[in-house]
Structure 1
Amino acid sequence: MLDWQSRAHEPGVPSSPPTRSISTRASSAQPTQPSEPTPARKFDTDASLVLVGIRGCGKRSLGFVAATALKRRFITEDHYFKEVTGITRHEFLKTRGSQEFQRKDIEVLKQMLDNHKSGCVIECGLGSLTRPVQDHLRHISKTNPVVHILRDIDHIQQLLGLEDQSIRLLREGDPLHRTCSNFEFYNLEDRTRIIADDGSPDPRSAAYSFKLQEVKEDLTRFVHFVTGADANQSSYDSPFALLETPPELRSYTHAIHVRSSDLIDDNVTLTELESGGDAIELCVDRWGPDMALVISQQVAVLRRNARTPIMLSIDMTSSGLGKADQSTSSYFDILEHGLRMAVEYLVVDLGQNRTQLSQIIRARGNTKIIGQHIFEASSRVKWTDEGCVTLYNEAEKVGCQIVRLLRVATSRDDNATVLEFTNKIRALPGDRAPLIAYNVGRLGRTSQVFNSILTSVTHPAITRPTENERDAQITSRDAMKALFQSYVLDPLKFCILGSSVAYSLSPPMHNGAHQHSGMSHTYKIPESPSLAILDELRRDPNFGGSSVVQPWRVELYHKLAAKSRHAEAIGAINTIMPLRGPSEGGMYSLQEQASRRNQAGPVLGWYGENTDWAGIVTCINRHLSPRNAISAKTTALVVGAGGMARSAIYAMLRLGCRKIFIYNRTLSRAEEVARHFNSWASSQVDSVDVVRVIRSTQDDWPDDANPPSLIASCVPADPDQAEPPANFEMPLQWLGSPTGGVVLELAYKPLDTPLLKQMRRIRNDTGRSWVLSDGLENVIEQGIAQWELMTGRKAPRRLMTLEVLRNYEGDNGRFDEKTIQARLDGFCS
């Protein structure tokens, strides 16, 4: 249990109250206008990222993670001080005295910021608590993202072994960082895992430990969003991929509505929130002088558990803010704090002061603003009134990216009129802001089901002692079931194609997810293994898609009407989906095809995708330690030359590795794969000869490359004549990486392959940190990505993982419950 309540009562009064400090302004009697307009949070894409915070908050570790994620130079104040002065900070203090040290420290820190305004991640030391440096940081924040790092103060005290007096000074000084930064990141502790008896960080040991694994993922997503690092990745866009298509551009998406008070009162089972919504709406319904820290922690916890975008809204009716003028001041404090946390969506009340709203919208950075108005039951405005259209237009004009209009339902007839209004907005010319429009309350449940994007929903993991009529009345599962029962969506048939699929884990994984999500689809193994079944599937209007395994990953690639850029780059697929068209002829655009998933119709062709690479990326990211972070020196090895090997190479290229070696028993196939990717890389990643062939296991590792720290064994469990069986072992001369690395074994029949057994022996003998991932992990990850691709829904990750673990049968039978639970925690933490 997270102690939200104790965090809410921590003292946090800065020695000099700042104009923009949320924790002090919320208690003032009059709303305060900022002394100058809030600067926009839009920066040059290479603007340096600056980290500030108190001792022990984790700036050094997080700075390294951020620099790795952004592929930038990392500069620490300690290193730069020595570079400028020739001696360490400690030596300078000892020889020059504290007064001269403080003067020089401030001078060097300001110089460091001025001389590295682009292409870097910069860690500021304790000088950020001095007024001259804070003034300088305010100036820097106009052109650069300055991130205030927070951490649990009790953990800092324990970590540093500080006395209460020292911790009190840190606690009082930290809020000053809010006055000179424009973003905020809460450094949430990684969940504790048990270390294996042999001390190994091996997921197969059912007890796996990896320092900074979760916070690395949290911070990577945060800095990519803040800097806009992914904004120029359009060349990889796929309209079917959930990660590349925001919820407002998909059909029937939902936001789980969680109140801040729910989290404080421990009414939410956090681990269950990972399914049942495409976003999380955190509704702030409590506020006070110390709540900013609490909300920051809540956002961090929700992001980690749900792995979805965060939408921040405010409930002014239950926040207990008191007087109207105080409420107005606190309302804009919360909005500003939402932008500081870089939430993906921020809901603003269109009835608030337009000047102040404009300042918030101007300072939004990459956050999308949702302009909202709620028509109360007492309002005379009806959905059919022209005033609703006017309000929508005004929201667009003020700069909102999305408009949300809600009405407290007074009769069931309101559900028909809101549909008329929605259709009227859709008929407006030009590209318009997406509209969220439905009725609130039990009488409005029908309109909540049929609203197309970001409907607020509740969740079984939320158990409130009393219900609020304004809160969400249906779950995502309720809405999906209703859409199928009302024939808006159709039950579709899915299957798997391949020569040896009798032991496939896809049926239980996909069918479990369908049932869990309220969808009426079925997934089966066809009776005939022949590709002739494609003709039969093409005649079935209810065909939804198919998984594809060996030996047809490459063969079906050439039968596609369209394919993703990922599949095109790999030259192999593992998924096909039907392409449909209107009754008057032609074929829908790919964007339209994506929005019509879960709807039947004549099949006009096939769309091909590959999710194997996405599963491999997830596995590598999960297990790659900061010491082995991918850099210009990173080397990888791929064993095999089939479709999975192609996916592994592509995954490594996408992660930034530019030195990849491939070994295959049949040399000509390895050379063919190398030619394919070297040709692709020359035009796509501005590199040549990214893939090189190793001819024999007797060869020494090349002198001009580091030993590999990424190894993927892609030899199949059921080999064809051109592939070796899954009994490959690594030549010892190739295992020279002093920091170990990650070994992915992609075969899972048998699960404990000779390679994994060998690597555990080598790890024990050498003490090097080789982290091992067996084939079952990738089966789960690629299957989750595939289910999301086929359905357009966010996958119930934990449920799908559980189905795989319960249905996998190895040489020694099925897993026992203890092993299942241990693996489940390792894969889904």
Structure 2
Amino acid sequence: MAIVHAGLKRPYDQVRDTDRISSSPGSRDHSRFREDSRETSAVSRIRSGFNTPSNDWTETPRETTFKHDASIVLIGLNGVGKSSLGILAATAYNRRLVEVEKCFADATGCTSQTYRKLHGTNAYYSKHCQVLQSTLDAYNKNSVIVCNFSALEHDGSRIIRSYAEHHPVVHITRDAAGVQSYLQAWNMERVQQLLHASGPLLRSCANFEFFNLTEKLTAAEDPQAQDQAKRGLFLTLKRVERDFLKLLRNILGDHNRVLSHHSAYPLSEVPVHHRSFTLAAQVGIHDVVDKVVDLDGLQVGADAVEVVITSKAFLPASQQVPREEFLLQIAETYAVVRRVTIVPIILTVDRRLCGTAPDLYHALISYCLRLGPEYCTLDFGVQDPRKASLLASRGRTLFIGLLHRDIAPARGWQDISCLEVYRRANDLGCSVVKVTMPARNVGDNFALQSFLEQGERMMLEARLTAYNTGALGRMSLCYNKILTPVKTASAPTTVPRYPDALVTPKDIFAALFATFVYEPLHFFIYGANVSYSLSPAMHNAAYRACGMSHTFGTHSSDTLEDFKKLSRESNFGGAAVVQPFKTGVLPLLDGLSSHANAIGSVNTIMPVRELTEDGGIPDRLGLLAQMNRGGPVQALYGDNTDWIGVRAVLRRGLSPANTVRPQSTALVCGAGGQARSTIYALLSLGVNNIFICNRTPANARAVADHYNKQIDSHSIGLLGPATTSQCRVRILDSFMQPWPPEYRQPTMIVSSIPTQAADGSPTNFTLPDAWLCSPTGGVLVELAYRPMMTPIVKQMRAHARKGWVMMDGFDVLPEQAFAQYELFTGRRAPRKIMLDEVLRKYREEQEHLNEARSLDPNPPAT
């Protein structure tokens, strides 16, 4: 499924050969992170020695607020990946990794099994609890503590449960096939029994839960096996790293060294429920598990994905607590969707699933919160007095309060109870309140507007969204502003299970453009010679896929005179600017983003049609409100997305072993505009030691001075005071000099050197092999992509087996275009569509070029 979302390197062969493009996930190798095999025998027994909680996990108080330095505890069965995840977390947060089993061995001089045999079970229990308590106390802060399943024996579960009152404890689980492949000796039935039997105990000790998706391995005889190896075995944990760190950010909040991969993208600055005309693509858990839905297609035009929990297959007869297999299915579904999307996820439990059992609904909502989604729906139609306790334990998850009337009240939208629920949900702490009822006639769609206006006049903090359901209510869906439920064009015909999702994103955009809420705009790329640009193909493909009536073209010019005229036209939507105008256009702009200001150049320009009351440029939310609308241009606003593209591929290419640390080193080759963006990207990743080398040292010195002055004056907003004191951009005078011995070898290298000199001769740039001696390899980004196989690309392909990952312009170009699409339209980019289109267009150009070269310019006379 969609490598573009997964964070794996696109193979070079994808561009050369269409048939080799694969949609299956990359391979994964756990050999470097295998959990201690000493756990195996302890995992195999759930017996009377365990202190099973007297109360069900749904009744156990769940703390979700912790100090920023509180230690994290990982618990779970053997084979679920605790040790691997512990390494990832400890590296990302720069914390100590502590394994309780090793602490027991250090304290007693033998393993737990040996100690039990030598001293007896009772003595073992006593010593085990003593070591567990002392370990938790000793590493109370800034640690990641891995507990094997045997740590819960005897009084261990009580100790862990008590620790969870002030520390995040994460229950790691996994599919049975993944656990069985690790344990080897056990059959699937026994593994499933173990997972189901252990779940309630583990859950009662934890605040959160993480489902560790098993990566598919490519079979040795598969012709793609060699291609998988090219991607680098060191990247096999990248996808799970991204997912797990996202959960930890939900628990502990953002950390300046573990900002999310997508935090740099413009729309990340504004929560989805604060934007207008946002869409939530609905999908059921069985559609995901049974693979009957295209998850890439599901995201096209969507601002969020709403996972609807609808199945009654695994409900218990008692209707009190959901069966373990059902919970695991929810967790796996959430993990699958999380793996392939960057948009927020909403978890919604269909109240019809629970009938008249509020305890079951409460348990399911409690479980959803443990997974750490961005949003969770709370149905006010369920008579559960514990809503306040659910909201109190939400952590950083935001609640959407829902009131759906199966039968419209006699007064319809004038019924006072609708506004009463809005106020009650707001007072409880919901961020969004959604009210729906079936439309009795088309007029109900107009009556709805009066209700929304009444809600706005209440001036409550929660955003109010409302629409009519049923076929007659489709009009209200088209004009609803917040998280409108949508289906995909390829959705199964049996979609009545989601009765609200009756329209597609294309339907909604068609309605908005047809009624002039949105207006067709023209975008273009502007530069000295942009006729060859691949940007129009990407953007136009995205517009078509979403049903937007915009166009994207090219405009080549040696001056900015044409730009001055084009940027003032009433249908001007925005421009992508390339050399030589990235700095020359600055005097024409009325405002710059903080990023463009720090970099000193722009590549994206947007019209401002409404200024603030004091004549200034609106903030990001204000700019979003003006997008997709024509009219007189009052000002021009500049931004830079080049750094976002570089940042994205650096993060994607770095193996967990090369995660950025205070000692990490980066090298930038070249000193032009791309080098400036690259340094800014490195600073945003927390790299302290940045070297720049250029064939003209004076140009490199100018770039280094540009950033060092800003670092010293604390004027780069994404750098905190602690980071600033350690950060410096340094110059290497020549590519021939030895690498400075006082600094580590670079693990991040970006080449922005053109493939041709000013006279048209090839530069043939390569790096000294002595600069490529990092013992863990690294990532090299070649920003040039015409031609694709540059000398440095050939050089680095030879270093692939040494841990080096090669990224190129076809990795960077789409990423910066995704960010540009957000700035131009206020929507998340349909990433896979844009990526597929740019690769298709490039292959098409290469085929035409090869055909032209094959023609003989001097055919023989006939």
How high is the TM-score relative to the length of structure 1? Answer: 0.88
1:190 counterpart = 2:227:
no
Pairing of 1:722-761 with structure 2 (within 5 A): 727-761=764-798
1:152 counterpart = 2:181:
no
SS in 2 for 1:68: helix
SS in 2 for 1:41: coil
Residue of structure 1 in register with 2:655 after alignment: 625
Deviations 1:350-377 (A, max 9, x none): 2444630000000100010111101232
1:311 counterpart = 2:341:
no
**CA deviation after TM superposition for structure 1 residue 117, in Å:** 2.6
Listed as ranges, the gaps of 5+ residues in structure 2 are 2-44, 316-322, 851-862
**CA deviation after TM superposition for structure 1 residue 736, in Å:** 1.3
In 2: Cα distance, 1:183 partner to 1:260 partner: 20
1:293 counterpart = 2:325:
no
1:662 counterpart = 2:687:
no
Pairing of 1:238-253 with structure 2 (within 5 A): 241-253=266-278
- Cα pair 2:351 2:379 within 8 Å, conserved: no
In 2: Cα distance, 1:498 partner to 1:664 partner: 24
Q: CA separation of 1:469/1:644 partners in 2, compared to 1, >3 Å: closer, same or farther?
A: closer
**CA deviation after TM superposition for structure 1 residue 793, in Å:** 0.9
Pairing of 1:352-391 with structure 2 (within 5 A): 352-353=382-383, 355-391=385-421
| Residue from 279, 283, 287 that aligns with 2:308 | 283
In 2: Cα distance, 1:194 partner to 1:680 partner: 51
In 1: Cα distance, 2:405 partner to 2:97 partner: 51
1:502 counterpart = 2:539:
no
Output the amino acid matched with 1:710.
M
Pairing of 1:108-147 with structure 2 (within 5 A): 108-147=131-170
**CA deviation after TM superposition for structure 1 residue 548, in Å:** 1.4
Listed as ranges, the gaps of 5+ residues in structure 1 are 2-11, 26-33, 817-829
Residue of structure 1 in register with 2:12 after alignment: none
In 1: Cα distance, 2:637 partner to 2:421 partner: 41
In 2: Cα distance, 1:213 partner to 1:247 partner: 26
Pairing of 1:583-662 with structure 2 (within 5 A): 586-587=615-616, 589-590=618-619, 591-662=621-692
**CA deviation after TM superposition for structure 1 residue 666, in Å:** 1.3
SS in 2 for 1:608: strand
SS in 2 for 1:355: coil
- Cα pair 1:240 1:594 within 8 Å, conserved: no
In 1: Cα distance, 2:779 partner to 2:595 partner: 23
Of residues 621-630 and 239-248 in structure 1, the stretch that sits farther from structure 2 once superposed is 239-248
In 2: Cα distance, 1:771 partner to 1:310 partner: 31
Output the amino acid matched with 2:293.
V
| Residue from 759, 764, 777 that aligns with 2:811 | 777
**CA deviation after TM superposition for structure 1 residue 90, in Å:** 7.3
**CA deviation after TM superposition for structure 1 residue 781, in Å:** 1.3
SS in 2 for 1:383: helix
SS in 1 for 2:749: strand
Output the amino acid matched with 1:292.
L
**CA deviation after TM superposition for structure 1 residue 572, in Å:** 2.0
Output the amino acid matched with 2:328.
L
- Cα pair 1:14 1:176 within 8 Å, conserved: no
Of residues 656-665 and 431-440 in structure 1, the stretch that sits farther from structure 2 once superposed is 431-440
Q: CA separation of 1:219/1:399 partners in 2, compared to 1, >3 Å: closer, same or farther?
A: same
**CA deviation after TM superposition for structure 1 residue 82, in Å:** 5.0
Residue of structure 1 in register with 2:857 after alignment: none
Of residues 225-234 and 670-679 in structure 1, the stretch that sits farther from structure 2 once superposed is 225-234
**CA deviation after TM superposition for structure 1 residue 341, in Å:** 0.7
- Cα pair 2:610 2:626 within 8 Å, conserved: no
SS in 2 for 1:794: coil
**CA deviation after TM superposition for structure 1 residue 221, in Å:** 1.5
**CA deviation after TM superposition for structure 1 residue 78, in Å:** 4.0
- Cα pair 2:439 2:473 within 8 Å, conserved: yes
Residue of structure 2 in register with 1:218 after alignment: 243
Residue of structure 1 in register with 2:77 after alignment: 54
Q: CA separation of 1:20/1:695 partners in 2, compared to 1, >3 Å: closer, same or farther?
A: farther
Residue of structure 2 in register with 1:179 after alignment: 204
| Residue from 480, 501, 522 that aligns with 1:493 | 522
**CA deviation after TM superposition for structure 1 residue 432, in Å:** 2.1
Residue of structure 1 in register with 2:434 after alignment: 404
Output the amino acid matched with 1:281.
E
Deviations 1:283-330 (A, max 9, x none): 11125213111101111111112332111112222x2x46x2xx2111
Output the amino acid matched with 1:747.
A
**CA deviation after TM superposition for structure 1 residue 621, in Å:** 2.0
| Residue from 818, 823, 827 that aligns with 1:789 | 823
Deviations 1:87-119 (A, max 9, x none): 666776787676655543332222222222322
**CA deviation after TM superposition for structure 1 residue 626, in Å:** 1.5
Q: CA separation of 1:665/1:94 partners in 2, compared to 1, >3 Å: closer, same or farther?
A: farther
**CA deviation after TM superposition for structure 1 residue 580, in Å:** 1.8
In 1: Cα distance, 2:257 partner to 2:764 partner: 42
**CA deviation after TM superposition for structure 1 residue 635, in Å:** 1.1
Q: CA separation of 1:575/1:276 partners in 2, compared to 1, >3 Å: closer, same or farther?
A: same
In 2: Cα distance, 1:207 partner to 1:239 partner: 26
1:528 counterpart = 2:540:
no
SS in 2 for 1:572: coil
In 1: Cα distance, 2:110 partner to 2:642 partner: 51
In 2: Cα distance, 1:56 partner to 1:181 partner: 18
In 2: Cα distance, 1:89 partner to 1:726 partner: 63
SS in 1 for 2:834: helix
Q: Supply the RMSD in Å over aligned alpha carbons.
A: 3.3
1:426 counterpart = 2:461:
no
SS in 1 for 2:630: coil
1:467 counterpart = 2:496:
yes
**CA deviation after TM superposition for structure 1 residue 585, in Å:** 8.8
Q: CA separation of 1:761/1:198 partners in 2, compared to 1, >3 Å: closer, same or farther?
A: farther
Output the amino acid matched with 1:676.
H
How high is the TM-score relative to the length of structure 2? Answer: 0.85
Kindly tell me the number of residue pairs found equivalent between the two proteins.
784
Deviations 1:218-237 (A, max 9, x none): 11222112211259999999
SS in 2 for 1:426: helix
Deviations 1:766-808 (A, max 9, x none): x411111121111111111211221111111111011101111
| Residue from 356, 359, 365 that aligns with 1:335 | 365
SS in 2 for 1:308: coil
Residue of structure 2 in register with 1:105 after alignment: 128
In 1: Cα distance, 2:361 partner to 2:256 partner: 30
Q: CA separation of 1:329/1:79 partners in 2, compared to 1, >3 Å: closer, same or farther?
A: same
Q: CA separation of 1:208/1:232 partners in 2, compared to 1, >3 Å: closer, same or farther?
A: closer
In 1: Cα distance, 2:116 partner to 2:588 partner: 71
